[in-house]
Amino acid sequence: MSLLVRFSAGLCRVLSFLGAVAVVLMMLHVTLDVILLNVFRISMNTTPEIVAHYYMVAVAFMPLGWLTLRNQMISVELLDFVLPKWLRNLSDFVIALIGAAVYGLLSYATWLKALRELRSRSFVDLVTVQMPVWQSHFIVPAGFGLAALACALLAIVYLSQTARAELQRLTTGADE
């Protein structure tokens, strides 16, 4: 169990890091575009499309698994304070299972969409060039799939106090 928790947390952490790298690359790309336009009057016409189709997709979907493992997703707990501990744990377990199912379905649906985009070799028409964007469609099912894995792991972890402590240690940075 400990190996599964460590592997999943590490994988989620890596993809979250890739999302952070996308933020930095996007910032550098837009800054370079602004500098080139204002100093040298050179325009990089593809910047808005690259930002919209690659950077923003990575920023939005790569960290989903890590956020899920750290319990940093938006949640509403209207009745948690009045429930006994065992019922809160059961509620958390059921919600994690439902989350895994929903993320799994989203991952499957977006995977099918990504395959359609791959087959059609989708692109964006720019003034002088056709920029391929079909590759970015595979980021979405990867993010949803990892979030499904994270929810399934959380459901398993809710059954084991030892695994819960291990996950808590790995996701709060106490292991560093």
pLDDT tens, position by position, 110-160: 999 999 999 999 998 887 888 899 999 999 999 999 999 999 988 888 887
How many helices and strands (H and E) does the chain possess? 7, 2
SS3 of 61-90: HCCHHHHHHCCCCCCCCCCHHHCCHHHHHH
Q: What are the Cα distances from residue 43, in Å, to 48, 53, 123?
A: 11, 19, 20
Provide the pLDDT for residue 143: 94
* Token pair of 40 as six digits: 């040298």
Q: What is the pLDDT of residue 157?
A: 85
The continuous run of DSSP H or E covering 131 comes out as strand 130-132
Q: Which secondary structure element, helix H or strand E, spans residue 152, and what is its range?
A: helix 139-157
Q: Are 137 and 117 in contact (CB under 8 A)?
A: yes
Using CA atoms, how far apart are residues 142 and 110, in angstroms rounded to an integer?
9
Give average pLDDT by consecutive 10-residue segment, the chain, 176 residues: 78 87 95 94 87 93 88 79 87 93 98 96 85 92 94 86 74 60
Residue 173 confidence (pLDDT):
65
pLDDT of residue 3: 79
Q: What 3-state DSSP class applies to 78? A: coil
Give the pLDDT of residue 31: 95
Q: What pLDDT does 160 receive?
A: 77
Distance of CA 81 to the CA centre of its chain: 30
| pLDDT score, position 27 | 96
Q: What is the pLDDT of residue 174?
A: 54
What pLDDT, on a 0 to 100 scale, did the predictor assign at position 11? 84
